[in-house]
Amino acid sequence: MKLTTLLPLIPLLTTLPTTWASPTKSLTRRADSCEQWATTTTGPYIVYNNLWGQDSATSGKQCTGIDSVSGDTISWHTTWSWEGASSSVKSFANAALQFTPKKLSEVNSLKTGWEWSYTGTSLTANVAYDLFLSSTASGSAEYEIMIWLAALGGAGPISSTGSPIANVNIAGVSWDLYNGMNGDMNVFSFVAGSRAESFEGDLVEFFDYLEKEQNVDKGLFLTDVQAGTEPFTGQDAKLTVKSYVATVA
């Protein structure tokens, strides 16, 4: 997704504990993939390098690799450096869950746990879940629901006003909610008030809120569940996903 607005945000601190264990090192680490559209399928996930916005950069590169898989839990990483077009997203390295699309009304739970860390110089990026909703199981996305666990270096979500439309507490975290259009797609972005390097929760709680407070129809299909990072600019960056799991039931 292309982000068009940068909002000034105060550097954040990790606040959340987690009970999710790191995955057993049951898989020999694979070589990183650096091609623009490189993918690796392992367990229930497809891991994407996804350099969809690289043409906006004056220079840079990104590579992504898998460290381990144990059951439904994955450990992976991405490294990158990007310069130029400071308000444009360059890529979205992510782990996408493979599942059969379901109506939100039929999703009983979407439990997830995520432990991560980020290093690098002058980073502007996010760490976020990216979820898509459609009127049909195979149709184009009409809603995008982003859940930002961190906004680094002043990164900000799509917003029609530049300001949050609400502040909500979900899964024990305080979130500023932003809303705006990305072409024909309606985007809701929950941005954590404090950087959450450990997160555990049921993402169905976000859908329940959106149905009740923002009139998002639960007759829509959940078609995609992705989790990764959108970088704008920075040098010698590395996102290390120590442990990630997501399950749709």
Q: Which residues are known to be catalytic?
A: 144, 230
Strand segments (E) across 84-208: 93-97, 102-103, 110-134, 143-152, 166-170, 173-182, 185-192, 198-202
The CA distances from residue 24 to 66, 77, 94, in Å, are 13, 16, 20
184 burial class (0-12, 13-18, 19+ CB within 10 angstroms)? exposed
Q: Are strands 221-248 and 198-202 parallel, antiparallel or unpaired?
A: unpaired
- Within 10 angstroms of residue 149's Cβ, the number of other Cβ atoms is 25
Residues whose CB is less than 8 angstroms from the CB of residue 212 and which lie 6 or more positions away in sequence, other chains included: none
Q: Which residue has the tokens 């997160």?
A: 199
Helices (H) then strands (E): counts for the chain = 1, 13
The rounded distance, in Å, linking the Cα atoms of 149 and 127 is 6
